[in-house]
Structure 1
Amino acid sequence: MPRNKHPEQTRERIVAAAAELFVENGYEQTSIQDILDTTGLSKGGLYHHFKSKEQILEAVMERRIQYVGKRFHELICDTPGENAKEKLKKILAQLAADSKIHTLDQALASQIDPHFVVNGIQTCIRQDAPIIAELIKEGNRDGSLQTEQPDLCAEVFLMLLNYWANPVLFHRNREETDIRLRYLQSMMSQLGLDLIDDSLIAHLINAYVQ
């Protein structure tokens, strides 16, 4: 049998196909055979890269984290705004409206793995929060924000928005999610970080809650 000259491309093809199948059919309803049929690989070809469907799921989740990180950094660089506050609000709105982020979350709602959540929290604190903190500091300088302790405020904001208020992690309905987002809106306004408006709340609820 000829050696696979492009193992990373094959691995990516498996992960991409699995992600689409998980969204279309759900994780439980997607079989290894479905992934084989979609990719055209043999069982040996697939098992060379992944030993189980659970390993494929881990790779799909990691791919989602990488996509969100890449999208976040693109928006930081490319989003205009008359001041830091408006730039931050636009970035949050574009992330909330990104269907690629939310559809996969919904498909994997019943398969949330604690290690995946912890990895996401660590990425949030170590990589994303410092970037948000710099924009908050910029807002303090240009007068559009008045936020004490920008570094800590950024961490609290992202943790509560991405995890505490996330209906997928807790299987919450629209009303429960709305209550938490509006509480977060009020709390962050008191901290001088009034970034959450009614439009963002509506986007988040429609994206995550059926």
Structure 2
Amino acid sequence: MARQIKPAEQRRGELLDSAQALFFERGYDKTTVNDLIQHAGLSKGGFYHHFSSKEEVLEALVERLASASMAELKDVLEGPDLDALTRLNTFLSRARQMKVEQVPQMRGLFETLFQPGNQVLYHRINAASMAVVSPLLARIIEQGRQEDRFDVPDAHMAAETILHLGAATYRSVAKAMNAAGTDEADSAADELEQVLRFQGVVVDRILGLADGSVDYVEAGFARAIIDGLAEPRN
């Protein structure tokens, strides 16, 4: 019987399916390229036709996960009856909710990204996510400019600057990772929430708004993230 030849995009998608299953179940560090090849039913040549390394697989997976998350926010991004600030705050609120829900599943990835010495990999992954989210955030900011609500000279630069703030939480999130499930969890949650609240003020000022206009973080969010990190992976 002739071997079935699948379209390249289908094969690539199956590789990402395998990566998601194995990275979430075992963790990124404990999954090898050979594990991915075996799980996806590919040859080594087939793997390297699509990806040059395991890191590149992770970048592509993060892009796919970010795109899926943004698709779930389509009603917020495209709803015709929302003013820009309401759209932005609803977008941020729903995004926070999804992060809390996804943290237990993605703990294996976080354990890798927030290990000492993995900052370069973290920033690569952050850039992959930003590439998906930044144009959508810029669209909201541009709406605010058109409404004369947001006082920024360039919506795309503002969006990228706001998203880069996330990278500034690296130390606090790494501390939260280590504190999850310990007596240090409360203090780690307080520190992370303080960082996020400060960033919220920065976002207000980037957009030319009064402090507190943007609902950048809500009470209990940081603790919910830490509690999610303490949960065992399914």
For normalisation by structure 2, the TM-score amounts to 0.64
Aligned to 2:14: 13
Aligned to 1:163: 167
Structure 1 contact 14–35 (Cα < 8 Å) conserved: yes
Structure 2 contact 19–57 (Cα < 8 Å) conserved: yes
Separation in 1 of the partners of 2:128 and 2:21? 23
Note the C-alpha offset of 1:87: 2.2
- 2:224 is matched with which residue: 203, 206, 210? 206
Separation in 2 of the partners of 1:165 and 1:13? 33
Please give the root-mean-square deviation of Cα atoms over the aligned residues, in Å.
3.7
Note the C-alpha offset of 1:42: 5.0
Name structure 1 gaps, 5 residues minimum: 141-145
Aligned to 1:130: 138
Mean Cα deviation higher: 12-21 or 116-125:
116-125
SS of 1:4's equivalent?
Answer: coil
Aligned to 1:84: 84
> Which letter does structure 2 place at the counterpart of 1:159?
H
Note the C-alpha offset of 1:48: 4.6
- 1:148 is matched with which residue: 151, 154, 167? 151
Structure 1 contact 165–177 (Cα < 8 Å) conserved: yes
> Which letter does structure 2 place at the counterpart of 1:90?
T
For normalisation by structure 1, the TM-score amounts to 0.70
Aligned to 1:195: 214
Aligned to 1:143: none
Are the structure 2 counterparts of residues 87 and 120 from structure 1 closer, same or farther at C-alpha, using a change threshold of 3 Å? Answer: closer
Separation in 1 of the partners of 2:53 and 2:198? 41
Matches within 5 A, 1:33-48: 33-43=34-44, 45-48=46-49
Are the structure 2 counterparts of residues 90 and 62 from structure 1 closer, same or farther at C-alpha, using a change threshold of 3 Å? Answer: closer
SS of 1:30's equivalent?
Answer: coil
Note the C-alpha offset of 1:56: 2.5
State the Cα deviation string for residues 81-138 of structure 1 (Å, max 9, x = none). 4x3322221111111212576567643232435444445556665x244213123225
SS of 2:28's equivalent?
Answer: coil
SS of 2:3's equivalent?
Answer: coil
SS of 1:97's equivalent?
Answer: helix
Aligned to 2:68: 67
